[in-house]
Amino acid sequence: MQTIAEYLPQHPFFGGLDESVVALLAGCAVNAHFHPGQHLFHEGEPADTFYVIRHGRVSLEVHPPAGPAVVVDSAHTDDVVGWSWLVPPYRWLFDARATDETSAIAFDGACLRGRCEADPAIGYALLQRVVQVMSNRLQSARVRLLDLYGVGA
């Protein structure tokens, strides 16, 4: 298996960043593994981590007042999970649960924020990438709100 330093430069999220910057960010990262059913995080808890999924599957879930959790999105190999570590008040807005054996790279959110504050150029580059993820998920949620495949759509 590739080390974090070997893996990150090839990942699309980090594409276009200088090697030295990726290496700096890699200093905030550790490997993590989750078994099926194990949570990466729970809604309302402090959002202190940013995940890059190396292998596996993660369900992003919201719990309605009654009934089972609703899976609002899923993350798979090479996807990234979590942006609440970047936005005050740094609390998770949903649950993330591994549904397969899942390997991830877990970045310490406070460490990343520290790197961003120390070098605004790095902060801007990272923010651009996180906003792209947020934009894609927002667009996905908006279009799915239309219930395109429902009766009468």
Cβ burial of 47 (10 Å; 0-12, 13-18, 19+) is buried
Q: Which of residues 56-85 bind other proteins (CB under 8 A)?
A: 57, 59-60, 68-74, 76, 78
Round to whole Å and give the CA distance between 39 and 44. Answer: 13
35 binds other proteins (CB under 8 A): no
At 83, give phi and psi (nearest 5°): -130, 0
Q: How far is the CB of 101 from other proteins (least distance, A)?
A: 12
Q: How far is the CB of 113 from other proteins (least distance, A)?
A: 27
**Radius of gyration, alpha carbons of the chain:** 16
Q: How far is the CB of 45 from other proteins (least distance, A)?
A: 21
Residues that bind other proteins (CB under 8 A): 57, 59-60, 68-74, 76, 78, 99-100, 136, 139-140, 143-144, 146-153
